[in-house]
Chains A and B, each alone.
Chain A
């Protein structure tokens, strides 16, 4: 899914339309800011309405307050923290490994045309089976638990970061390199002052995508092969028909995904890419 925002409102940070001054514009800016909340509000409304009208069983669709209560209960018992932390820890490990291997591998391949051409079909194929498809095989090697989850996350993140890095390295305009060479720069200077910063926008895109995909792969992995973690929490709740826990868990999963993207990655992007004014093709490697 493209990361391009559909519309940035003009006049200030995400402000609404128009160039009218004064309180009218401020009101429009506020409305613009609040708009993204409307679908959530609508869903919430529909949920409550359905519950009041159709009175489904707790197993099918619990009341909104039940979900909140279930989450609260888990939080208070400390179980929620355990699950969240377990998941985040695995994510961190998997992403760190994936990014490290992806960037290093991406540089090696991106700078070396014969190797790139040779490996290309393999990359395409393994990309097609990345993530959960490895589960049945790897579960025999690593059992259930953190190792399995980290492997699956690594697998997912690696390919994304790798492909983006290769693309980034290849797309650094040759003239930048030549400019540095004409200043007397050797291989190392070219690598550190041209290729690395030049490929950075793509690497960061890969990191951002990778984090999102890694999180999703983690949940899938935990559904089947873990004893703790958010994925396991919601899958375990299936047995007891605890829909309230499931829904609460899913919402939490979504929230964490957004939080990570917004507060972790966006600042990094802003400090580098946007500061340098680098704009690139939005059709990046997925």
Chain B
């Protein structure tokens, strides 16, 4: 008979957090976010001012600002940016519509999943950009080419993560519903979809990261609009100010889309349903 003085012991009086030094990737207040960029711009300006760089090599932050205003006022920036954003949005939609069902269909069967896994890795190793030359031969220098490449890039992680999501659903859930007499469709709706959703969203987020870059690269080669076209075109004319403007816009747009749209979705699903694997 053991006598204990109290309830199960806590880890210690002073609460210890696993991230003892704070997270790197979660900026919170605007000042904290803006200050490092201000410092960077200051350094940039100092470098530019202190050396004799020709405008072909580097321009001042001021010049970039002017280029930005110019592009905005003529509606050029909006046009190129919207081309890119439309493309990534459409590609994401298409990839989900095609990729998720494939992921489900394959994921439910462990043999199929095992069979497909290596193939998907192989495809990812090739990357969408490598297929660009072939796509150009087939579809020419058109938006179709760009779309095909971006969808390819997006669909692989989506299918893969859907598969993982489905396989990670604990068997008891599926058996329980089946023993209640659920039809195939109901299984999909009530078990597979919600169960795999966190993983799917993670896959979407990963895919968007790769896809955005693949999009820019494709636009650089296809030259039919979009931000990649903008910065590559500016290269031809040596317009460094435009190139840098384009780069900043590309970066900001990605951060905005990722942090303000995709990540909240991920947090919502993951937080509500929990990450089911491992």
Contact = CB atoms under 8 A, between A and B. Distances in A.
Nearest to B23: A170
Contacts of B25: 120, 123-124, 163, 285
B213 A132 contact: yes
Given A1-B124, A128-B251, A223 B137 contact: no
A137 to B, nearest CB: 5
Interface size class of B (residues with CB under 8 A): 35 or more
Contacts of A4: 164, 277-278
B125 A109 contact: no
A247 interface: yes
Interface string B22-42: 111111000011111100100
Given A2-B164, A6-B164, A120-B24, A286 B127 contact: no
Contact of A166 (B24, B56, B220): B24
> Which of A36, A163, A237, A255 counts the most chain B CB atoms within 10 A?
A36
A258 interface: yes
A132 B125 contact: no
A135 interface: yes
A6 B114 contact: yes
Interface in B1-36: 16, 18-27, 32-36
Contacts of B40: 122
B137 A60 contact: yes
B250 interface: yes
A253 B126 contact: yes
A113 B212 CA distance: 31
Contact of B24 (A139, A167, A243, A250): A167
Interface in A102-159: 109-113, 116-126, 128-137, 139-141
Interface residues of A, number: 84
B206 A1 contact: yes
A253 B111 contact: no
Given A6-B164, A126-B251, A282-B278, A173 B114 contact: no
B81 to A, nearest CB: 14
B121 interface: yes
Contacts of A119: 24, 36
Contact of B157 (A1, A5, A37): A1
Contacts, number: 229
Contacts of B202: 2, 283
A37 to B, nearest CB: 8
A128 B25 CA distance: 13
A276 B20 CA distance: 23
Contacts of A133: 213, 216, 231, 247, 250-251
A238 B278 contact: no
Nearest to A60: B138
Interface in A31-48: 32, 35-40
Given A128-B258, A170-B22, 6 more contacts: A39-B118, A118-B32, A129-B251, A140-B56, A215-B125, A254-B122
5 contacts: A112-B21, A124-B27, A170-B24, A216-B130, A257-B126
Interface of B: 16, 18-27, 32-37, 40, 56-57, 110-111, 113-127, 129-134, 136-138, 156-157, 160-161, 163-164, 167, 202-203, 206, 209, 212-213, 216-217, 220-221, 231-232, 234-235, 238, 240, 243-244, 246-247, 250-252, 254-255, 258, 275, 277-278
